[in-house]
Structure 1
Amino acid sequence: MKKTTAASALVLAAGSAALLAWMAQAGGAAPPKPPKPAPLVSTAVVHPRGEALELSLEGHVRALSQVDIRSQLTGTIRSVHFREGELVRAGELLFMLDDSSHSAQLARARAQTAQIKAELIDAQRKLERSLQMVQSGFISANASETLEARVAELQAQRAAAQAEIASARIQLERTRISAPIDGRTGAVNVHPGSLVQAGAGAPLVTLVQLDPVGVAFALPEPQLDALRDAQRRGKATVTLDEPNGAAAAAPQRRVGQLTFIDSSVDPASATIAVKASFANPGHALWPGAFARVVVGLGTVPDASVLPAHAVLDGPDGHFVYVIGSGGKAERRAVAMLRIRQQQAIVTGLGEGERVVIDGGAKVREGKAVRIARAGMGGRQ
């Protein structure tokens, strides 16, 4: 029985070895996998044209002029001639201080001046008579020298008195505090009867100019040269979206003027501060409010418009794939000007070049691609 079992095992082992040998002779290795098909892409032919170069930036409205109104005298507020938040004109009376002491000082200076003037007239009359007597030989020339000195002294006193009148008049005028600019008043910090001091820390009121106003915004450093070049050529523009929404289909733009470019770039944000001024007759623009600024940098003559997703990012910047000879993809570096409504405005492409629009993520440099036909979802 043991001999029969051993013989059966030998037969099975021999059969397995023979089967393996036959499979090796018959090429039993797995068949090779078929090559992957070229990626399917859709393309578009570009036709570069002139395109306005614009930057949409965020800014904030700033008052071009803001004045803290303070008293130049120490005194008591007699009257306030405006209401908080009211628009005032330059030269309009805002506050009136008690002027009784200053009026008295001016009157005293005028009286003193009148007295000196009378003495001077009398001294000059005496000097004239003295000079006539000297010419007639009745008195010596030395006798008139004292009178000449007296006249000179009174003339100096008259000049000093006139200066006192001017000083007293200035002090009296300072009791009337007027608006130095057109603007809107803020909160009033004093009331009739309040004692104010010259040079006090808190202003009586703050006056803010609302027309025109400024808008401050940050320009990306890479666009600085383009802005300066546009300024030199007279092509730089700055506009502002109207607040509270004009219709999206036909937005209203307020045209302004560039007034300031900072002298240095902020290394932390890689931006440079820029300011522009805008007319604001209806006071729709309010200091501190958000504003969307559009800076025009002129026209780029060879710009191409592509779907934004067709422009890819690489270690060296933006690029696209173009279809070269033999239907192979070629990588082409482009400069991104801006993205507007999901459309990328780029430069660096030639007339009639076929650019990969969809499917670029699967494309490899120098590899063939399949171009989808119209009707297969492609754009050709």
Structure 2
Amino acid sequence: MSSRFTRTGLACALGLGLLGAMAGCSGSSSAPPPAATAAQVSVVTLQPENQPITTELSGRTRSRLSAEIRPQVGGIVQQRLFEEGALVKAGQVLYQLDPASYKAAHASAQASVAKAEATVNAARTAARRNAELAKIDAVSQQTNDDSQATLQQAVADLGVARAALDTARINLGFTRITAPIAGRIEASTVTPGALVTAGQTTALTTVQQLDPIYIDVTQSTTDLLRLQRELASGALKSGTDKAEAAVRLVLEDGSAYAHAGRLQFASVTVNEGTGAVTLRVLVPNPERTLLPGMYVRAVLEEGVAEQALLVPQQGVTRTASGDASALVVTPDNKVEQRALKVSRAIGSRWQVTEGLKAGERVIVEGSLKVKAGDTVQPVAATDTAPAATNVATNATTR
């Protein structure tokens, strides 16, 4: 009897244990899942700033003054009196031609002048004497008139002789070929012993003034009209008088030129072939780093965009149609998608004209793992806007 009761008690105990386990499993399956962790994203808080708007234009250097040296008289080159590639001064003798024949012509002209002066003196004496004698009817009036005419002719002949002397002196001086301007002189095309002629087409050498130097750049009329519209609408504020604007230069190897230039003028005629106007920049060149014909890029400041909003380019996406948008984190840390209008790229950032306000937070990292409506954990981005070159592209983007 006791044995049967014992077996029955064990069976009841096992049944109660199974029911407790089943109850425990049922309770664990009905518990709510743990909350999902909000994704962490990097954001940039937009702050308005006064942004200089610049345009980078390509151009080539051009010497401010250039003189091709040609002989004004013919002759044999006796000496070359300069070092090729050196700096020369205005008036410095560059070549010496054989002066022998020109010295002889000069001496002959001097003799002709002396002869003409003697003739004038004799004619003047005769004319004075005949004039006195004519007063007392000692000579005829005809004789007096002839002597006066002879004096006038002698004076005229003296003038011709003196002009010939001046010509001979000038030609003799032309045998010393001098530099008309100061500058750097190029290689010589002739050597001593060469025969040169007056007015020949081939220059003996060229002197170019390199300090200061010109840079001619072109700007499209499209960009010019856009700039005028933005200035007229107030989107841009003119920082300086454009006729006196400072210009920074970037050399062909990408390095910055040490000296700033000044904008001299913009041409008033549009090139029909290119649709562009020419801008001329005057640049100091004391080290003679810039040589004529070099390619450079001129960075011209056109104005200042006041209270501009600049968004890092990685925070702006585009649709297949080219429309720009950005993901914005709202004050309650929700993601919101905004349609934007951007005007130009400034360094590594876009200038936004519509769609964003100062103080809003734009996602620049982590946008691929979130979508509009998600709750996120925003963290201030670091090094998201590297130092911009402040060179604004002229292409308007919408």
Q: TM exceeds 0.5? A: yes
Give the aligned residue type for 1:83.
Answer: E
Three-state SS of the structure 2 residue aligned to 1:64 is strand
| Pair 166,181 (structure 1): closer, same or farther in 2 beyond 3 Å | same
Shift of 1:68: 1.9
| Pair 253,128 (structure 1): closer, same or farther in 2 beyond 3 Å | same
- Cα distance in 1 for partners of 2:110, 2:363 equals 90
- Cα distance in 2 for partners of 1:50, 1:309 equals 22
- Cα distance in 1 for partners of 2:324, 2:359 equals 14
Does structure 1 residue 281 correspond to structure 2 residue 286?
yes
Find the counterpart in structure 1 of residue 215 from structure 2: 215
Shift of 1:56: 3.1
Find the counterpart in structure 2 of residue 238 from structure 1: 247
| Pair 44,220 (structure 1): closer, same or farther in 2 beyond 3 Å | farther
Find the counterpart in structure 2 of residue 198 from structure 1: 198
Find the counterpart in structure 1 of residue 297 from structure 2: 292
Contact 2:43 2:381 in 1 (8 A): no
In structure 2, which of residues 257, 264, 268 is the aligned counterpart of residue 259 of structure 1? 264
In structure 2, which of residues 289, 292, 307 is the aligned counterpart of residue 302 of structure 1? 307
Three-state SS of the structure 2 residue aligned to 1:284 is coil
Find the counterpart in structure 1 of residue 349 from structure 2: 343
Shift of 1:291: 2.5
Listed as ranges, the matches of 1:291-330 within 5 Å are: 291-311=296-316, 319-321=324-326, 329-330=337-338
Gaps of at least 5 residues in structure 1 are: 1-39
- Cα distance in 2 for partners of 1:79, 1:274 equals 42
- Cα distance in 2 for partners of 1:183, 1:96 equals 20
Find the counterpart in structure 2 of residue 352 from structure 1: 358
Contact 2:55 2:299 in 1 (8 A): yes
Find the counterpart in structure 2 of residue 171 from structure 1: 171
User: CA-to-partner distance for each residue in 1:245-282, whole Å, 9 max, x for gaps?
Assistant: 87xxxx664111223434215655x6544331211111
In structure 2, which of residues 341, 354, 366 is the aligned counterpart of residue 333 of structure 1? 341
| Pair 210,134 (structure 1): closer, same or farther in 2 beyond 3 Å | same
- Cα distance in 2 for partners of 1:245, 1:377 equals 30
Give the aligned residue type for 2:96.
Answer: M
Listed as ranges, the matches of 1:119-138 within 5 Å are: 119-138=119-138
Does structure 1 residue 69 correspond to structure 2 residue 69?
yes
Contact 2:186 2:205 in 1 (8 A): yes
| Pair 92,244 (structure 1): closer, same or farther in 2 beyond 3 Å | farther
- Cα distance in 2 for partners of 1:348, 1:163 equals 80
Shift of 1:169: 1.5
| Pair 82,216 (structure 1): closer, same or farther in 2 beyond 3 Å | same
Listed as ranges, the matches of 1:67-216 within 5 Å are: 67-216=67-216
| Pair 349,79 (structure 1): closer, same or farther in 2 beyond 3 Å | farther
Three-state SS of the structure 1 residue aligned to 2:125 is helix
Contact 1:308 1:339 in 2 (8 A): no
Instruction: Report which stretch shifted further, 270-279 or 48-57.
Output: 270-279
Give the aligned residue type for 2:68.
Answer: D
User: CA-to-partner distance for each residue in 1:311-365, whole Å, 9 max, x for gaps?
Assistant: 55689987545869998645342321x421x223444577536475448999xxx
For the aligned residues, what is the CA RMSD?
3.7
Give the aligned residue type for 1:240.
Answer: L
Instruction: Report which stretch shifted further, 195-204 or 229-238.
Output: 229-238
| Pair 215,311 (structure 1): closer, same or farther in 2 beyond 3 Å | farther
Contact 1:241 1:253 in 2 (8 A): no
Three-state SS of the structure 1 residue aligned to 2:71 is coil
Contact 2:327 2:367 in 1 (8 A): no
Contact 1:226 1:297 in 2 (8 A): no
Contact 1:321 1:360 in 2 (8 A): no
- Cα distance in 2 for partners of 1:84, 1:122 equals 56
Give the aligned residue type for 2:223.
Answer: Q
| Pair 114,359 (structure 1): closer, same or farther in 2 beyond 3 Å | same
Listed as ranges, the matches of 1:23-62 within 5 Å are: 44-62=44-62
- Cα distance in 2 for partners of 1:44, 1:70 equals 66
- Scaled by the length of structure 2, the TM-score of the pair is 0.70
- Cα distance in 2 for partners of 1:140, 1:376 equals 121
What is the aligned-residue identity percentage? 27
Three-state SS of the structure 2 residue aligned to 1:224 is helix
- Cα distance in 2 for partners of 1:244, 1:376 equals 36
- Cα distance in 1 for partners of 2:290, 2:241 equals 29
| Pair 221,182 (structure 1): closer, same or farther in 2 beyond 3 Å | same
Gaps of at least 5 residues in structure 2 are: 1-39, 232-237, 385-398
| Pair 156,88 (structure 1): closer, same or farther in 2 beyond 3 Å | same
Contact 1:221 1:265 in 2 (8 A): no
- Scaled by the length of structure 1, the TM-score of the pair is 0.73
- Cα distance in 1 for partners of 2:86, 2:365 equals 62
Shift of 1:216: 3.0
| Pair 141,343 (structure 1): closer, same or farther in 2 beyond 3 Å | same
